[in-house]
Structure 1
């Protein structure tokens, strides 16, 4: 068990080293199209396009590990995602630290024992929190901001083996099949780690990307679109009411946005609905087929109700003075409204093109503070989206 504790501590080292990777770090090429990065940097965990693949990883020999304690700081508004991973025996024994509903969760596999435990304070409040993971004989302990948050005890009936060989560590992803997880979760983490102290090891990490993105100094809740891509949903995942009414609600400082906020399009048809904001004219345009509404931006909440024969655009800040209605008796036939909703795609942050390659245009620049369909919050982590989009945070 002592050797297991050592292995677990090494796992912690991995996470923390990775955490230090981000802000202004310069790596050196290692000859394998990867970069070596110091474990003393700030790292944005959401950069990798493959949501399960680690952003960074390292391999160390178990014989050089002398510490069984690691610490680091994490900051996020994201309620769910992978922070770090470690394993021995090429993945037979492993450890994962993640968030689930904003609460820390540890999952451990050791010999014939599988353990999953979650608890402690919610960490997705946008503040920096200090986490420390350590081993004490048969227990793995997680402390948050100096207080004990989780304690996991493990006792195997199998004969303890003296561990030797290598320890693999990874940040922002895992190195085993996701089906081995005891509790399934959404792995992509829109968050940052920094100030890691990883088992006192100083070996470099290998980055899976050429350039590490910086973490913003200050953040606020929302979804940030830097103008490089869009997020796409199959519309069928959203429920439609019995009267065929669909309601969209948007929150944000529209005067600071530019580009396409929303698009609904069925393959082979003209867009059924497009919402575009123009920063130069300080206007929002709602396009429904050949009809359109132009609104001066004097609000931070916008309500769009889309029916078979009616489109209503309403400024929720001033409902009595800002209601526009586009109505056409044969609108459903003209636009193929129901077909678009059942078979089409919904894009956030850009205008969809033709085909299935998800190529878009007129990308949005700015922060959507909140977005709802049918009264439900939309999580961009569930969309097919460009990796530059931050699902849960915006620069403040």
Structure 2
């Protein structure tokens, strides 16, 4: 039943009803309608003189309907490479090992948000002689051994700011030192009476192969989540276009921010042995997306027990099934397309026995099950983030659409146990690029 009696004022064309185009010239009857003509036209804007602008106000166009953010095509840094996509991302680059026996000078440009990782490594086959540069606690540490004991040089500069830095490590005449953006570290005398650095002509850049076991450089051996540009050894630029070997290395975004990029076609699988949700869990993360639909997280079981987080038609849903039926806390923003505006949003999903609370950007919604005696989600399956494989069942997700956008700071808390997850440690990963999120922070 029509609630408005006013007739339409304007023009209509290309009307199709039941897949059939309707011809207005064959109508049975009409009143106050000009058939086959439209008397409306866009009026050209008049060029106003300066004095006229005071008399004729600028016409305001009607506001455009709000919509999701548009994904721009990312630009890349030439001759720079992103490491840290897995724990063993790396390049192996050849160099002249004879040239570094008496003097070693390695210079590179680097950009990272990370606080730890291996930047470069070289060693003799027996690993007695070696040289390495590591990031630990946000600071750089250059270590080398001429066969008679380890020498360590540290630099006070904080590297983990997401900006480009030029780093140079040097050993010469029984002295070791490091320069960051022109700022030199104190010189350190070499340990022992060794006089030459005898290493293989292989520079491991960005990390080490998974089957290589370094013995003398401590536990910071994982790939550095960083973008590394040009590299020189004793002033000779290394050819990263022809590595001896390469694994899990990608291009670098010209503008980057902290986070992991999900391209909308895959997922990351964590906790291969299975995650037990049980009665209580608190999930926190941050996300940014330009899509109105996408799976954020799912943990399921062979039965019906499961939890799920997803964006469906611009709403954020937190589903929980303790075994007695699904309950859902649904957050719908006041303004449409808020969650797909391309900006970072915070999320906290808390399950406590039969109650759930979902907090998005500080706005809380609640739900609870009428079956108060059913309190535990008995899961023992992996955590799937950003999507899940076709053959995997998810009992608390209504969508199969993979998430497109960036995630960061994923944490699952159970009582005093706080577990943060690094996507580069996922046991299975598709269409996901850890520690690499395009775009600049607003």
Rounded to whole Å, the distance in 2 between the matches of 1:203 and 1:379 is 30
SS of residue in 2 equivalent to 1:62: helix
Report deviation, 1:150: 6.0
Name the structure 2 match of 1:308: 353
Rounded to whole Å, the distance in 2 between the matches of 1:257 and 1:373 is 25
What are structure 1's unaligned runs of at least 5 residues?
1-21, 26-40, 356-360
Rounded to whole Å, the distance in 2 between the matches of 1:66 and 1:152 is 16
Rounded to whole Å, the distance in 2 between the matches of 1:198 and 1:247 is 48
Name the structure 2 match of 1:128: 164
8 Å CA contact 2:284, 2:410 repeated in 1: yes
Name the structure 2 match of 1:171: 205
Name the structure 1 match of 2:84: 46
Deviations 1:223-269 (A, max 9, x none): 2222343333339998989xx42111232335557421111123x23
Is 2:395 aligned against 1:395? no
When normalised by structure 2's length, the TM-score is 0.65
Query: Aligned runs of 1:78-227 on 2, under 5 Å?
Result: 78-88=114-124, 91-116=127-152, 118-149=154-185, 151-157=187-193, 160=195, 166-174=200-208, 177-185=212-220, 187-201=222-236, 204=239, 205-206=242-243, 208-209=245-246, 213-227=250-264
**CA 1:93–1:104 in structure 2 vs 1: closer, same or farther (change >3 Å)?**
same
Rounded to whole Å, the distance in 2 between the matches of 1:65 and 1:114 is 16
Rounded to whole Å, the distance in 1 between the matches of 2:285 and 2:406 is 11
SS of residue in 1 equivalent to 2:253: coil
Rounded to whole Å, the distance in 2 between the matches of 1:272 and 1:122 is 42
8 Å CA contact 1:261, 1:350 repeated in 2: yes
Which one has the bigger helix percentage? 1
Name the structure 1 match of 2:314: 282
8 Å CA contact 2:287, 2:405 repeated in 1: no
What are structure 2's unaligned runs of at least 5 residues?
1-74, 340-344, 393-399
8 Å CA contact 2:108, 2:167 repeated in 1: yes
**CA 1:89–1:249 in structure 2 vs 1: closer, same or farther (change >3 Å)?**
closer
SS of residue in 1 equivalent to 2:90: coil
Of 367, 371, 385, 1:329 maps to 371
8 Å CA contact 1:81, 1:188 repeated in 2: yes
SS of residue in 2 equivalent to 1:206: coil
8 Å CA contact 1:257, 1:367 repeated in 2: no
When normalised by structure 1's length, the TM-score is 0.72
Alpha-carbon RMSD: 3.7
Is 2:407 aligned against 1:368? yes
**CA 1:270–1:367 in structure 2 vs 1: closer, same or farther (change >3 Å)?**
same
Rounded to whole Å, the distance in 2 between the matches of 1:179 and 1:86 is 10
8 Å CA contact 2:123, 2:199 repeated in 1: no
Kindly name which structure, 1 or 2, has the bigger radius of gyration based on alpha carbons: 2
Name the structure 2 match of 1:19: none
Rounded to whole Å, the distance in 2 between the matches of 1:354 and 1:167 is 46
8 Å CA contact 2:83, 2:249 repeated in 1: no
Paired residues, number = 339
